[in-house]
Amino acid sequence: MTTPFYWSFSALQDFEGCAARYAAVKIDKTHKFSGTFQKNFGNDVHKAIEMYLLAGKPLPVTLEQFEALLGSIAKISHSVEYKFGIRRDWTLTKPGARDAWFRGSIDLAALDDGDVYIIDWKTGKKWNKPDQLAAYAAAVDAIYPDVKTVNACYVWLKTNEMSFHVFDKAQRDEFRKDFSWRADYMEKAIAARDFKPRTSKLCLWCPVLQAGNCVTATDDGYTIEQAKHAGAM
């Protein structure tokens, strides 16, 4: 029995970044990303925060600056690495259920007096688009019925910065429409194997380019030499 289509925010982001790369790495698996430092660092951070909140273990020195924030969250109802599954009609189901159309994991979710707080830890470079927080905020109404406001935040661990965003009910309604449309587009493209390449400076980090297999990127002036120079391989 084949698994029905489902999406996560990172899969959607990968697909929208370049559908050809997404197909090569995630669907056909003909190419693979190299480099694991970022992933290992992210895993260590998540584990340390989980141990602090769930077992009261001290934070490592690199995370001590977030002790006040985490300390106040520890006092209210919260979930660490909260995994969710959302059906197509934006109702809640189990994360691994067949009808879990949108699947995700919120690094930290807390509920206080009808407001929900979402935190996502970031180990990479800072960006301004709150798209991932918007996807989680769209799911929050199914997870916490009667929620008023969603207060969402990226925490940029490399630079010790935070980006706050507040989403009201009307915004979350719009997010649900937007993500439904985007996920439908992705589903149809996968079914039709319509994987258009989309060049950007991220091509330098793409294994398809690094293997010399992307004509579109080469035509647009991206080269393996540039990838080596940028430290991408």
For tokens 């002790």, the residue is 67
State which of positions 49-108 bind ligand SF4 (CB under 6 A).
none
Any contact of residue 134 with ligand SF4 (CB under 6 A)?
no
Any contact of residue 232 with ligand SF4 (CB under 6 A)?
no
Count, residues near ligand SF4 per rule CB under 6 A: 14
Q: Which of 6, 12, 20, 78 contacts ligand SF4 by CB under 6 A?
A: 20
CA distances from 116 to 26, 65, 97, 119, 179 (A): 33, 23, 25, 10, 20
Q: Which of 85, 104, 130, 197 contacts ligand SF4 by CB under 6 A?
A: 197
Q: Which of 12, 15, 21, 78 contacts ligand SF4 by CB under 6 A?
A: 21
Sign, CA torsion 130/131/134/135 = negative
The secondary structure of residue 157, as a DSSP letter, is: T
Q: Which of 155, 208, 227, 232 contacts ligand SF4 by CB under 6 A?
A: 208
Q: Which is nearer to ligand SF4, 12 or 18 (CB)?
A: 18
Q: Which of 18, 73, 109, 152 contacts ligand SF4 by CB under 6 A?
A: 18
Do 207 and 24 touch, CB atoms closer than 8 A?
yes
The CA-based dihedral angle spanning residues 183, 185, 187, 190, taken in that order and rounded to the nearest 10 degrees? -130
Any contact of residue 203 with ligand SF4 (CB under 6 A)?
yes
User: Whose CA is closest to 111, among 140, 84, 83?
Assistant: 140
Rounded to the nearest whole angstrom, what is the least distance from the CB of residue 28 to ligand SF4 in the complex? Answer: 12
Counting DSSP H helices and E strands in the chain, the numbers are: 9, 6
| Binding window for ligand SF4 (CB under 6 A); candidates: 35-43, 55-63, 125-133, 197-205 | 197-205
79: three-class secondary structure by DSSP: strand
Residues binding ligand SF4 (CB under 6 A): 18, 20-21, 197-199, 202-203, 206, 208-209, 214, 216-217
